[in-house]
Amino acid sequence: MARADFDARLERATAAAKKSIAGPTAVREMQYRAVPEPALALTLNSGFQCLVPVAPASELAGASAEQLAKVEVTPLRNALAWVDLDVSIYVPGLLAEILGLVDPAAAGRKGGASRSAAKAAAVRENGKNGGRPRRRPS
């Protein structure tokens, strides 16, 4: 990669990071609360405040209270990370799921149905290798 190309990409990435940090869904403050049940008190840049229960997050099932308390806000302020558990949760997605704004299955179908030049090229390339494996009768 040429130096000029690298510099241009770095500049775009830096601008995107600054936009994310200043965005309305960026986490301004976060506090873990263990009582009465494990939850996260979030304050976003928009001023929106909420108490998010930890229980619905399947990634955190079986984690102890001590492990749950070691939550951090990521540098871009758009996700919560439990480093010891190797778990990160994207805050806008978490809120959309909890508030019922997004059906995860529908989102997956939409992503799988996307059409782009890159996806078409990948399909053609995979076809050269024999394509999708045939289903075996059960």
> 3-class DSSP state for residue 128?
helix
Rounded (10°) CA dihedral 121, 123, 126, 128: -70
Distance CA 3, CA 56 (A): 46
Distance CA 105, CA 100 (A): 12
15: pLDDT strictly greater than 80: yes
What's the token pair of residue 13? 């990435």
Output the pLDDT for position 112: 66
* Predicted structure pTM score: 0.62
Measured CA distances, 37 to 23, 31, 53, 68, 78 (Å): 29, 13, 7, 12, 24
CATH fold label, 23-128: NE0471 N-terminal domain-like (3.30.2020)
**pLDDT tens by residue, 22-39:** 778 788 888 898 878 889
CB contact at 8 A, 41 and 49: yes
> 3-class DSSP state for residue 19?
helix
Output the pLDDT for position 124: 82
110: pLDDT strictly greater than 80: no
Expressed in angstroms, the distance from the first to the final Cα of the chain is 49
Range 1-18 average pLDDT: 83
